[in-house]
Chain A
Amino acid sequence: MTNYDPDKHPLIEMKGVTKAYNPRKGFFGRKGNKVLALNDIDLNIHKGEIFGLVGQSGSGKTTTGRLLVKLEDPTHGKIRLKGELINDLGGKPLQHFRSKVQMIFQDPYQSLNPHLSIAETISEPLVVHGIGSPESRREKVIQTLETVGLRPGKAFYNHYPHQLSGGQRQRVAVARAIVLDPEFIVADEPTSMLDATIAIQLLRLLSRIRDEFGMTFLFITHNLAAAKYLCDRVAVIHEGHIVEVNTAENIIRNPEHPYTKKLIKVQPGFRF
């Protein structure tokens, strides 16, 4: 991965990606057909981009995110990071990959382990990947806390998740995601559980992190306005298909797909 040329390859490349699930057992154990969560997806995300994935629930957004950080593998198709295939990674290369991609989840009340202090939560990835000494890790954690706006970092170091608000927890999740200086972060509806005044601050934070560290983001949301605010380009996903990709500006002004038009129509606003 040393001689990666961002002009030659997108940072992330999905080609013909399909993901099929066996149906969850229904309440009465009925059997159904396979669920095609993703159906033949092609997607490129460039280095330094904040790329938005917008769609309604069940459309395949989280599945896309999970495949890109390799929490799961596709049924068909190829996924590349910096031009290198990740489908069959194992051993050392897989471990290296895991240090380069991170995911931030929707629910700040479930995604942090309540038994770990904030310090333990954020330093865990460093420990797992054997990075630094206890002292340097402590430094790094405090510095990262400050980067995500939890200042002074020392004041939060020994706190536990239950002592923090939802917005602060989400900042801890961001800190944990960036502590290894990853190349790529999937943020899966990170603001959907937050109040508007708190959500907008988190969006600012993600944008600042991109600017400062050049990290690349997949920002998953059902909120087109949030995608417009934060993202360079946006893909609209519907029933496992990407129906259009463009700048948010263009998508909103000239939606091509009927589903996109519908999505725009139902965005809450102040028309009365």
Chain B
Amino acid sequence: MSLLSVDNLSIGYETKNGMVKAVDGISFSLEKGRPLGFVGESGCGKTTIGMTLMGLLPDNAKILSGSVRFQTQDLVRLTEDQWRSVRGKDIAMIFQAAMNALNPVYRVDDQVREAILAHRPDISDKELNHRIRELFELVEIPYERIHDYPHEYSGGMKQRVIIAMALACQPQVIIADEPTTALDVIVQDQILEELRAIQSKLNTGLIFISHDIAVVASICEDICVMYGGQIVETGTRKEVFSSPRHPYTKTLLGSYLSLDNEEHIIIPDMRESADLTLASGCCRFQANCTACDAACKSDQPTWIDISPTHKALCCDAGIIRNPHD
């Protein structure tokens, strides 16, 4: 059984210009031991999904439809009281830019201590200290540095503390939202290595969010490519990266610079940002799609299967079934 499964989830934000549908009818499931990646440009709804799974949507957000199955519960129906026993305990999140939010006046081990005590107030001192030691070992921070203040840490070490805090209560699901975006490549590489090692050691469920496709590719077995609040393509990493089918996935991969691909770079012409006010279920990529025709503006896209695990959302099966351009 899936660890977590999301069905037809839609989330809107009330704004002064009306409702923007930041997440539009997405479904996915997270399997134990298979890290799941969400990738797409900024504003495509990645953080909104993470916040939904943590029960932390802001006041102007509204869950318009859908369910989130976790264990025996539907998370979208939880009261705030019920959330308190799930959030941070069963499901934990490494928030975007969290390392800059470590409290500067508390020592790092005390901050990890707080994270444990929040859910296990009766833990004995002995066990608490043991757990702290274990967590710092897990994220490879030397024991003699655990009493330091955050400013004495490098960016990479701060991010390790954030990871330790997320792991504090042995969650079943960890959501990592752009955990390496603020770090430079060398430190990013170390943190990714760390996450990989921890994930395979603890075998937790991992949802990994990033705008950087190569970073997602290096961590995740299963990939969801998002555009404008919709999942437009999903599959195993091999399927999505070796044989992308949706025009947006092709654009995203085609414009990604790596050390060995410059001959094949396609310069996209992405002018419009996605229109989040379109009616539910309309293709949100149509304004930027080079393959789009009139039918795409009137028809609703459907899921087109390429394999049992690989599918893409499009109005035109011909586009999706053709692996070449």
Residue of B nearest to A57 (CB): B184
Which of B41, B184, B189, B257 contacts A225 (CB under 8 A)?
B257
Within 8 Å of chain B (Cβ to Cβ): is A195? yes
Given contacts A27-B151, A165-B273, A196-B213, contact A228 B184 (CB under 8 A): no
Residues from chain A with a CB closer than 8 A to the CB of B41 are: 195-198
Taking a contact as CB atoms under 8 Å apart, the answer to whether B188 and A266 are in contact is yes
Within 8 Å of chain B (Cβ to Cβ): is A229? yes
Apart from the given pairs A199-B255, A225-B259, 12 other A-B contacts in the complex at a CB distance below 8 Å:
A26-B151, A28-B149, A57-B155, A196-B252, A197-B251, A197-B268, A225-B262, A265-B189, A268-B214, A268-B215, A268-B218, A269-B214
A113 to B257, CA, bound (A): 31
Q: Give 1 or 0 for each of A254-272: 1 = CB within 8 Å of chain B CB.
A: 0000000011111111101
Residues from chain A with a CB closer than 8 A to the CB of B149 are: 27-28
Taking a contact as CB atoms under 8 Å apart, the answer to whether A27 and B265 are in contact is no
Within 8 Å of chain B (Cβ to Cβ): is A47? no
Residue of B nearest to A222 (CB): B184
A199 to B251, CA, bound (A): 13
Taking a contact as CB atoms under 8 Å apart, the answer to whether A222 and B185 are in contact is yes
Within 8 Å of chain B (Cβ to Cβ): is A235? no
Least CB distance from A188 to B in Å reads: 14
Given contacts A26-B151, A27-B104, A222-B185, contact A270 B267 (CB under 8 A): no
Which of A56, A166, A196 contacts B255 (CB under 8 A)?
A196
Number of interface residues of B (CB under 8 A): 37
Residue of A nearest to B211 (CB): A195
Residues from chain B with a CB closer than 8 A to the CB of A270 are: 214, 217, 241, 258
Within 8 Å of chain B (Cβ to Cβ): is A224? yes
Within 8 Å of chain B (Cβ to Cβ): is A201? yes
- CB neighbors of B among A228-272 (8 A): 228-229, 252, 262-270, 272
Within 8 Å of chain B (Cβ to Cβ): is A226? yes
- State the majority secondary structure of interface residues on A: helix
Taking a contact as CB atoms under 8 Å apart, the answer to whether A223 and B185 are in contact is yes
Within 8 Å of chain A (Cβ to Cβ): is B42? yes
Within 8 Å of chain B (Cβ to Cβ): is A116? no
Taking a contact as CB atoms under 8 Å apart, the answer to whether A198 and B265 are in contact is no
Residues from chain A with a CB closer than 8 A to the CB of B239 are: none
Residues from chain B with a CB closer than 8 A to the CB of A96 are: none
Within 8 Å of chain A (Cβ to Cβ): is B270? yes
A128 to B256, CA, bound (A): 39
Within 8 Å of chain B (Cβ to Cβ): is A127? no
Question: What 10 A-B pairs come out closest when comparing CB atoms?
Answer: A268-B214, A266-B189, A195-B41, A225-B257, A269-B258, A56-B184, A200-B255, A57-B184, A27-B151, A222-B184
- CB neighbors of B among A19-45 (8 A): 26-28
Residues from chain B with a CB closer than 8 A to the CB of A129 are: none
Within 8 Å of chain A (Cβ to Cβ): is B275? no
Within 8 Å of chain A (Cβ to Cβ): is B157? no
Within 8 Å of chain B (Cβ to Cβ): is A204? yes
Given contacts A57-B184, A262-B186, A267-B185, contact A228 B151 (CB under 8 A): no
Given contacts A27-B151, A196-B212, A197-B41, contact A269 B259 (CB under 8 A): yes
Within 8 Å of chain A (Cβ to Cβ): is B21? no
Given contacts A57-B184, A229-B265, contact A196 B259 (CB under 8 A): no
Residue of B nearest to A226 (CB): B257
Taking a contact as CB atoms under 8 Å apart, the answer to whether A200 and B267 are in contact is yes
Least CB distance from A172 to B in Å reads: 16
- CB neighbors of A among B77-125 (8 A): 104
Taking a contact as CB atoms under 8 Å apart, the answer to whether B186 and A195 are in contact is no
- CB neighbors of B among A139-161 (8 A): none
Taking a contact as CB atoms under 8 Å apart, the answer to whether B186 and A56 are in contact is yes
Which of A27, A56, A201 contacts B185 (CB under 8 A)?
A56
Q: Can you list 26 A-B contacts (CB < 8 A)?
A: A27-B104, A56-B184, A195-B42, A196-B41, A197-B41, A198-B41, A200-B255, A200-B268, A201-B267, A201-B268, A201-B270, A204-B267, A223-B257, A224-B185, A226-B257, A228-B259, A263-B185, A263-B186, A264-B259, A266-B188, A266-B189, A267-B259, A268-B188, A268-B212, A269-B258, A270-B217
Residues from chain A with a CB closer than 8 A to the CB of B237 are: 272
Residues from chain A with a CB closer than 8 A to the CB of B211 are: 195-196
Least CB distance from B257 to A in Å reads: 4
A184 to B252, CA, bound (A): 32
Taking a contact as CB atoms under 8 Å apart, the answer to whether B265 and A200 are in contact is yes
Taking a contact as CB atoms under 8 Å apart, the answer to whether A272 and B218 are in contact is yes
Q: Pick from A57, A226, A270 the residue with the most CB of B within 10 Å.
A: A270
Least CB distance from A90 to B in Å reads: 37
Residues from chain A with a CB closer than 8 A to the CB of B213 are: 196
Taking a contact as CB atoms under 8 Å apart, the answer to whether B187 and A200 are in contact is no
Residues from chain A with a CB closer than 8 A to the CB of B185 are: 56, 222-224, 263, 266-268
Residues from chain A with a CB closer than 8 A to the CB of B259 are: 224-225, 228, 252, 264, 267, 269
- CB neighbors of A among B204-230 (8 A): 211-215, 217-218
Residues from chain B with a CB closer than 8 A to the CB of A223 are: 185, 257
A267 to B192, CA, bound (A): 12
- CB neighbors of B among A181-233 (8 A): 195-201, 204, 222-226, 228-229
Which of B42, B151, B217, B258 contacts A267 (CB under 8 A)?
B258
